[in-house]
Structure 1
Amino acid sequence: MGLLLQRLLIVLNDEDYNSTPYYIAMTMLNNFYLINELTISELAKLCNVSKSTISKFIREIGFEDYTDFRVAAPFIENRYKNELNYNTNVMGYMSEKGLEGYFEAIIGDIKDYWHDIDMDKIDELAKDLVDYKIVASFGLMYSESAAIDFQTKLAYNKKFIITKLSDVKQDEFIENAGEDTLIIIFTNSGNYIKKYQITEGNLEKSVFDRTRAKVVVITSNKEMEQDPRVDLCVLFKHTSKMQTHPIMFQIISDLIVHRYRLYSKGREKL
């Protein structure tokens, strides 16, 4: 999914149905294939607003100017040639292996994790959740869904953490976080730490070089264990080429919350 498409969807989720930003975002989404061909005047006319309103909207969703915005506009399936792209990977795997192969891949990854799970790391993270007062959890796209799910599960257990849909606001939080902050990143590939995954050119990311927070990564990329920007790495593996991380993230977060409940209850008794 491209950067502009993701940011417009976030506007739909965050803004009131009758608001101007919602209307602009929905109009742009409904005419997404045309945006790259339109001048700012033409786009303003299409959205029935002024050019200054379009300029303000573009800046508010994280683009420097109209040129920057329009570069992100063309929709190209698997634009960044990512082999983990949903259509290429999951839909392609189902087309090749059928439903039986799809379910076998999921079951295989769950069984593999069950046998190889490192509970010491799960416990370290659960104890950190007890000790840290400021906790945030982030990801992009499916991984951000895992962060939201994790936030909800912890809230059921009286632990309230932060997450943000906007990639711009995620970066701002990470860069400004202090030593009193725990940041948990859901990233199947590990690339969230290293680069901007949904921008043109996959530019290198530097916010983790500057943050003072403790950084925990939940990933299938074993190389993250050696990354100096990562303080704790919770690993899982894939037994096939199909990426099952949206499902694995749910299982891992259940384990973390379960252990958090245990340690938080122990702290309450002290």
Structure 2
Amino acid sequence: MYIIHARLLNVLNDEPLDSVDHHVAAVMLRHISELSDLSIGELADACAISKSTLSKFVRRLGFEDYVDFKLEARRQREKEIYIRDKKTINITDYLQQQGRDAYLVALNDDIRLLFDGANDAVITHLVHDIHRFPKIAAFGEGYSETACLNLQIKMSYYQKFIYTTRNDIVQTDYIERADADTLILVISNSGRFVSSYAHREGAPEKSCFDRSRARVYLITSNPSMKEDPRIFECILLRYSHDVQNHPVLFQLLIEQIALCYQKVYGFPQERP
């Protein structure tokens, strides 16, 4: 998901329905494909606000000024492709091209790979660290962040409270400031979340993990990330087909983590 789109959705989710920011974000999303062509005056008129109010809003979104915002909007006009080398295919396109039965075979094969026990030792290590670390966070982008939210809900049943946010600016700040008492679980199919801002122009390098003191676990399908010095341990996903089943597999992996935690530590209500 592109940066502007994601940040506007964050505003819709976080701000009161009757707030100016919520209104402006809603208008921008309705005109998302036109933003790069609109002057600051035209967009301000469309939002029924002043140009100065609009300037302040785009700065709160994390852009230097309206020119910077428009440059990012221009990049957003192209259709996003998750894997840029095009060696894989998303679930929707696979269903359209291959049909339901072929997809169910592919999904079943990938689920079997997920549950084959190859990651059991690392999941157990992660569960022990979740139990003992005083501060825990989980971060990702797009589908990955939905899995972080699932983990947050799941682990609350065991009285383990995990911080997460869809806001990429807040994510970066949290990672950079994290101390040695912090555990961070990153969910990133490609692993790029650790090293670059994949949805910004030129995919600039991300340095917050270099400065972080947190213990970082990574869920990824990129085996080369096991050698990254910023990563403590990797939980690796494997695929039997070219379809991008990671949105489904992420959720099932969260279930595996919760199941392991329950086996080791039980429910709080059941403890003596």
Identity over the aligned pairs, expressed in percent?
38
Query: What's the CA shift for 1:6?
Result: 1.1
- My pick for the range that moved more, 19-28 or 66-75, is 66-75
Q: How does 1:167-186 map to 2 (within 5 A)?
A: 167-186=168-187
TM-score normalised according to structure 2 size = 0.93
Give the paired residue count.
Answer: 269
- What is residue 108 of structure 1 aligned with on the other side? 109
- What is residue 199 of structure 2 aligned with on the other side? 198
8 A Cα contact 1:2 1:79, kept in partner: no
Show CA shifts across 1:27-46 (max 9, x none): 01111122111111211111
8 A Cα contact 2:87 2:242, kept in partner: no
Query: What's the CA shift for 1:171?
Result: 0.2
Q: Which ranges in structure 1 are unaligned for 5 or more consecutive residues?
A: none
Query: What's the CA shift for 1:117?
Result: 2.7
Cα 1:169–1:73 change in 2 (3 A) is same
Matched, 1:47 2:43: no
- What is residue 236 of structure 1 aligned with on the other side? 237
Tell me the distance in 1 between the aligned counterparts of 2:223 and 2:215. Answer: 19
Tell me the distance in 2 between the aligned counterparts of 1:173 and 1:127. Answer: 22
Query: What's the CA shift for 1:269?
Result: 6.6
Tell me the distance in 1 between the aligned counterparts of 2:140 and 2:86. Answer: 15
SS at match of 1:137: strand
Query: What's the CA shift for 1:83?
Result: 4.6
Query: What's the CA shift for 1:126?
Result: 0.2
8 A Cα contact 1:84 1:243, kept in partner: no
Q: How does 1:133-144 map to 2 (within 5 A)?
A: 133-144=134-145
Letter in 2 for 1:232: E
Show CA shifts across 1:209-228 (max 9, x none): 11000000011111111111
Letter in 1 for 2:187: F
Cα 1:197–1:235 change in 2 (3 A) is same
Query: What's the CA shift for 1:92?
Result: 2.5
8 A Cα contact 2:4 2:73, kept in partner: yes
Show CA shifts across 1:55-90 (max 9, x none): 11111111111111111113210268725799x532
Tell me the distance in 2 between the aligned counterparts of 1:84 and 1:234. Answer: 24
Query: What's the CA shift for 1:262?
Result: 3.3
- What is residue 31 of structure 1 aligned with on the other side? 31
8 A Cα contact 1:109 1:244, kept in partner: yes
Show CA shifts across 1:88-112 (max 9, x none): 5323222221111221111110011
Letter in 2 for 1:76: E
Cα 1:85–1:240 change in 2 (3 A) is closer
8 A Cα contact 2:36 2:70, kept in partner: yes
- Candidates 82, 86, 99, aligned match of 2:84: 82
Moved over 4 A (4+): 83-86, 265-270
Letter in 2 for 1:51: K
Q: Which ranges in structure 2 are unaligned for 5 or more consecutive residues?
A: none
Q: CA RMSD in A?
A: 2.1
Tell me the distance in 2 between the aligned counterparts of 1:266 and 1:226. Answer: 35
8 A Cα contact 1:139 1:186, kept in partner: yes
Cα 1:45–1:81 change in 2 (3 A) is farther
Cα 1:92–1:80 change in 2 (3 A) is closer
SS at match of 1:73: helix
